[in-house]
Structure 1
Amino acid sequence: MFSFKNKKKGFTLVEVVVSVTILAIIISPVLSMVFTNVKINKDAEDKQKALYIAQQTIERQKSDSNIKVGTTTSEAIDFKVQKTVTELDNYKFPDVSQNSENNNKPKTFADIKYDVKIDINPATEENPIKVTYYNEHGEKCNSEFKLIESSNVLNITNYDGYIIVNVNKDSNADVDKDPNKVICQKINSTEDKKTGSVIIQSNIDIQPKIEIHGFNNCEKDLIFYVVTSKEQKPSYSLINDGGKIKSYYNIFFADSEHKYKNNSRVYRVDVEVSKSGKSLQKITAFKTVLE
């Protein structure tokens, strides 16, 4: 008699195929889920980076005194950044000429109407200030006086329809009558308005910074237009001693290319960040030059 022992059989081809098929059915969704999660995480990371870049671009523009209207493109790591700055028509300076041919003189800015223009000359040992203004008959006049040494204080008062400028250290409550330190000019407007406009302009650095005190006892606004050169940033400190006062900053002497001529009080800034042709973030902010 022969006895046969059961031999352990291996997988047949059919069993192998079935096993692999079952394994593929199980693994395929798992792998797909893993790859999807990786892609989602990568996209989320790119969007987060793009948002950070866009926010940084906005903050840099808001802190930059040079406003260049139009669209600019730059690169940040693997991202493309497109920034568009536009003027808002409703907030343009009403007295600024839109004709660039009127804005190409070296020491004037457009056609801002004013009652007193304070032109700060290049620094000298005596540190003079030149005041240019129009009298009540519309005649252009000139006068010069000096800032008090080491204080650089300038007081500007709109009192009963008159613009009074003096360099007294004290507040506007006490007007210095010294003719070398004060200029008194009637406002060129109707009696019921009595709005005063003052241009303060300089293209030099001055230390210490100029401390400007404004006081207005009239119903209408006393308006300051601070005009500077885009290369130099004179340092001003504006203090309201009382009354309605408005201050417009970020106005520049126009250059030959007219690139830095800021005509608006408010600018819209649109930033789009993309990667590999795909837009990831679009954000909008507004920059104001009215303080």
Structure 2
Amino acid sequence: MLMLLMKNKKKGMTLLEVIISIAILGIIIVPMSNMILTSVKTNKRGEDKQQAVYLAQQVLEAFKNVSTFEDNNGFTAQSFSLNGNAYSLSVGSTINTDPLTVRFSDLTIGDYTLRVTLGRMQNANIYNNSATNNITADYKIIVSGHNDTRTIKLNNSTQSSISGTPNGIFMYLKGTKSDDSPGHNLLIKKNDSDSNVLFNLDSDTFNNNISLSFDDSYEDTNQFFINVYNNTTDNINIYVNTPNGKNINYVVNNESGTISTYNVVTGDSAVFSKNYNARVEVIKDSATIYTVNSNISK
């Protein structure tokens, strides 16, 4: 009888054994649960990243297919199609004026927010066919010759000599005519002295474009300085035309106001193009999960 009781006692588990078993099971389950949760989160982040990449690429592809980013008033709203749905990016704010850079209003697609920034590239190359110059400028400047015979011409005026002076010019732009009446004024000097005025030209209209060309006779081993004082409230585009195959050393100094500088080189393209920096950020749950930058020409 005693032996039977002892055998039955051995078949059961004591409270201590149960507690130890539960503890061991807990030690095993907690790391496994963490591993499972981590794996799920990792997979979810991967899916989010994949979707973010897809959305950003769709915006950039749409940007590459539009005809232009700007009109006479600056950057314009941009539209694109995604999975059969039409979306529009409206210009939200200007985040830089030199070079001009804008941020479009945030666009929400599902759980994702797209934040798109677009800006002009400074000192960008613009290619145009010699027979088709699409750059329209109210003020056109031509620089010729070498140090001993350096001349400059503005629009249809006669040439003025700038020989023997520092290798460069000073340009002053006003939002009124020289007598302060409505219009615009361009003043060009040999240097910053008032006694060295080369041209003083008023204009009723101004499209904010200035073309400065070095012709085929231009020769110099020194750097040519173009010092620009923009005293208007607008951004001014300076298009510097250099002859094909000739390396001309020049620099555009922005002394005041805002300007964008473009180097125009004769090439094979039928029209000139502006170069832009596009940036797309994809945000989810207030965190940026993907960012891409791209250079686009128009």
TM range (shorter): 0.3 to 0.5
Task: Report the TM-score, using the length of structure 2 for normalisation.
Answer: 0.44
Task: Report the TM-score, using the length of structure 1 for normalisation.
Answer: 0.45
Indicate the structure with greater strand content: 2
